[in-house]
Chain A
Amino acid sequence: MSDKSAASAAFKQVMKQYGGIFLSLIVLCVIFSVTNGRFMSVANFLNILQQVSVIAIAAFGMTWVILLGEIDLSIGSIIAVAGMVGAQCFAFGMSFVPALILTIAAGALLGLANGVLTAKFLLPSFIVTVATMGIYRGMVSLPTNGAPAMIMEPSWTAIGTQSFIGIPIVIWVVAVLFLFNHILLSKTKFGRRAYLTGGNREAALYSGIKVDRLKIIIFMISGVMAAISGVLLSSRLFSAQTNAGMSYELDAIAAAVLGGTSLAGGVGTMIGTLIGALIIGVLNNGMNMLSVPYFYQLIVKGLVILVAVYLDVRSKRAKQ
Chain B
Amino acid sequence: MAISGDKVILEIRDMSKEFGAVKALKTMQLSVRPGRVHTILGENGAGKSTLMKILAGVYQPTTGSIVLDGQPYAPSNPQDAARAGLTIVFQELSLCNNMTVAENILATREPSRGGFINDKALVRKAAELVKELGLPVSVTDQVGDLSIAQRQLVEIAKGLSIDAKVVILDEPTSSLSDSEAEILFEIIGRLKEKGVAIIYISHRMEEIMRLSDDITVVRDGSYITTRDKTEVTIAELIALMVGRDMNEIYPPRDVAAPASTEKPVLAVNGLSRSEEFENVSFDIRPGEILGFFGLIGSGRSEVMNTLFGMAHASAGTVAIDGAQVKITSPVEAIERRIGFVTENRKEEGLVLSHSVESNISMVALDGFSSLFGFLKRKRERDAAKAEVARLSIKTASLDTIAGSLSGGNQQKIVLAKWLLTKPKILILDEPTRGVDVGAKFEIYKIIRQLAAEGTAILLVSSELPEVIGMSDRVVVMSEGKVTAIADPDQMTPEKIMHFATGFAS
Contacts and interface: CB of A to CB of B under 8 A. Distances in A.
Interface of A: 187-190, 192-193, 195-196, 199-200, 202-208, 210, 266-267, 319-320
B19 interface: yes
Contact of A189 (B20, B352, B373): B373
Given A190-B373, A192-B375, A196-B358, A266 B351 contact: yes
B417 interface: yes
A319 B375 contact: no
B240 to A, nearest CB: 32
Secondary structure at the B interface, as helix, strand, loop or mixed, is mixed
A190 to B, nearest CB: 6
Contacts of A195: 351, 354, 358
Interface in B96-152: none
Contacts of A204: 351, 362
A189 B351 contact: no
Given A195-B354, A196-B358, A266-B353, A189 B347 contact: no
Interface string B278-306: 00000000000000000000000000000
Contact of B375 (A189, A196, A200, A207): A189
B164 to A, nearest CB: 28
B352 A210 contact: no
Interface centre among A189, A203, A205, A208 (most CB of B within 10 A): A208
Contacts of B331: 208, 210
A206 B351 contact: no
A206 B375 contact: no
B330 A207 contact: yes
Contacts, number: 72
Ranked nearest first, the 4 interchain pairs of A and B with the lowest CB-CB distance are A199-B351, A208-B334, A200-B351, A189-B369
Contact of A267 (B353, B366, B417): B353
Interface in B295-341: 308, 310, 330-331, 333-334, 340
Contact of B351 (A188, A196, A208, A319): A196
A199 B354 CA distance: 7
Nearest to B362: A207
Contact of B342 (A189, A206, A208, A319): A206
A207 B413 CA distance: 13
28 contacts: A188-B373, A188-B374, A189-B369, A189-B374, A192-B365, A193-B365, A195-B354, A195-B358, A199-B351, A199-B352, A199-B353, A200-B347, A200-B350, A200-B351, A200-B352, A203-B351, A204-B351, A204-B362, A205-B330, A206-B340, A206-B342, A206-B348, A207-B330, A207-B334, A207-B363, A210-B331, A266-B354, A267-B353
Interface centre among B348, B350, B352 (most CB of A within 10 A): B348
Nearest to B418: A207
A213 B374 CA distance: 19
Contacts of A319: 20
Secondary structure at the A interface, as helix, strand, loop or mixed, is helix
A192 B377 CA distance: 11
A281 to B, nearest CB: 30
B349 interface: yes
Contacts of B20: 319-320
Nearest to A184: B373
A260 to B, nearest CB: 13
A261 to B, nearest CB: 13
B332 to A, nearest CB: 9
Given A202-B347, A206-B348, A189 B366 contact: yes
Contacts of B358: 192, 195-196
A312 B480 CA distance: 51
A24 to B, nearest CB: 24
A1 to B, nearest CB: 17
A202 to B, nearest CB: 5
B330 A187 contact: no
Contacts of A205: 310, 330
A111 B365 CA distance: 27
A193 B351 CA distance: 11
